Amino acid sequence: MRRVNSTTITGFILLGFSDIPSLQHLFFLVFLVTYIVTLAGNLLIIVLTLADPALHTPMYFFLRNLSFLEMCYTSVNVPKMLRNLLSGDKAISFIGCAMQTYFSFFLGGSECFLLASMAYDRYVAICKPLHYPVVMNRKVSTGLAAGSWLSGLLMSFGHTSMVFILPFCRSHEINHFFCDIPPLLKLACGDTSRNETAVFMVAMSFVTFPFMLILMSYVFIISTILRMPSGEGRRKSFSTCSSHLVVVTLFYGSACIMYLKPNSSYSPDTDKFLSLSYTIITPMLNPIIYSLRNKEVKGAFWRMVRRRSSVLQPEP
């Protein structure tokens, strides 16, 4: 399995969690269940927001877009990771690794801006309710979503190409469970200072900047909620906002630590567990937090179940 110092690059080895062999099967089981829950939860949101006319609003358009993105995002890394946990062969081809890096940065970067667009949508809806239909019209919401996807796509293309033109002549063993840029840079033998600057700039513009915008939106949202006259409405909006803030902080916080920390404090083991939070945990939590706790979505769900059961059992 060890191919250290080979001169031709045929591929890499994803070491994953192979330093804790006793937990491989447990990890496999946990990640498999998480993956299935993620796909099912997000698919349910896509179906509900498409089928129910009450959910044809900008907020649910963004939510559907986020669910679609999360399904793609987890599918870039998790199936390969599950395979590696079960088999001894942990190899990934050079092209496969480049594709994995490209799609995780593309989808991850798009998610950063999509979450910010969703926070902006809530800010306008709660703080400027009278302007909401005009400010968040169809054109603006599709534009914000399309802009998020496009910026992720372009950023990832530049960023990934910069890494894969580097010579990899040291070890080919990536101490991570997917092809991510910081562990890849550890293996490159050329000058990686430009890549490190790029990682810093991308992290600032795709993680820190949208995170600041989101925090600002929520400061305005929360101060508006606190001025609401009804105690019931206040408590409900407050619980919704705080659960949004928890997932958002988990996602951006872990990405910030991962990509913004100084290179000298690189520790593969902490990094592996840190990246689990944005590759596995937030994609699973997002559908739960954003909608399954939400009355409108629950209503749409029961309406759909009733419609289906009346189709299956026609009146005699």
Ligand X SMILES: *[C@@H]1O[C@H](CO)[C@@H](O)[C@H](O)[C@H]1NC(C)=O
We find the least distance from the C-beta atom of residue 21 to ligand X, in angstroms, to be: 40
Q: Whose Cβ is closer to ligand X: residue 145's or residue 187's?
A: 145
d(CA 266, CA 182): 9
Length of the chain equals 316
Strand, coil or helix: 267: coil
Q: Whose Cβ is closer to ligand X: residue 116's or residue 181's?
A: 116
We find the least distance from the C-beta atom of residue 122 to ligand X, in angstroms, to be: 18
Q: Whose Cβ is closer to ligand X: residue 145's or residue 284's?
A: 145
Q: Whose Cβ is closer to ligand X: residue 148's or residue 160's?
A: 148
We find the least distance from the C-beta atom of residue 162 to ligand X, in angstroms, to be: 27
Provide DSSP, 216-233. Answer: HHHHHHHHHHHT-S-HHH
Q: Whose Cβ is closer to ligand X: residue 31's or residue 149's?
A: 149
We find the least distance from the C-beta atom of residue 149 to ligand X, in angstroms, to be: 6
Q: Whose Cβ is closer to ligand X: residue 143's or residue 190's?
A: 143
We find the least distance from the C-beta atom of residue 296 to ligand X, in angstroms, to be: 18
Instruction: Assess contact for 179 and 163: CB atoms under 8 A.
Output: no
Query: Which residues form the interface with ligand X (CB under 6 A)?
Result: 64-65, 68, 142, 145-146, 149
Q: ∠ at Cα 274 (200, 113), nearest 5°?
A: 50
We find the least distance from the C-beta atom of residue 203 to ligand X, in angstroms, to be: 24
Q: Whose Cβ is closer to ligand X: residue 142's or residue 267's?
A: 142
Q: Which of 82, 46, 43, 96 is nearest to 280 (CA)?
A: 82
Strand, coil or helix: 1: coil
Q: Which of 169, 53, 62 is nearest to 116 (CA)?
A: 62
Name the residue type at position 25.
Answer: H
Q: In Å, how far from its chain's centre is CA 151?
A: 15
Unique residue bearing structure tokens 């916080």: 253
Neighbours of 306 (CB within 10 A): 10
We find the least distance from the C-beta atom of residue 300 to ligand X, in angstroms, to be: 16
d(CA 122, CA 287): 17
* Max intra-chain CA distance, the chain: 76
Unique residue bearing structure tokens 């910010």: 116
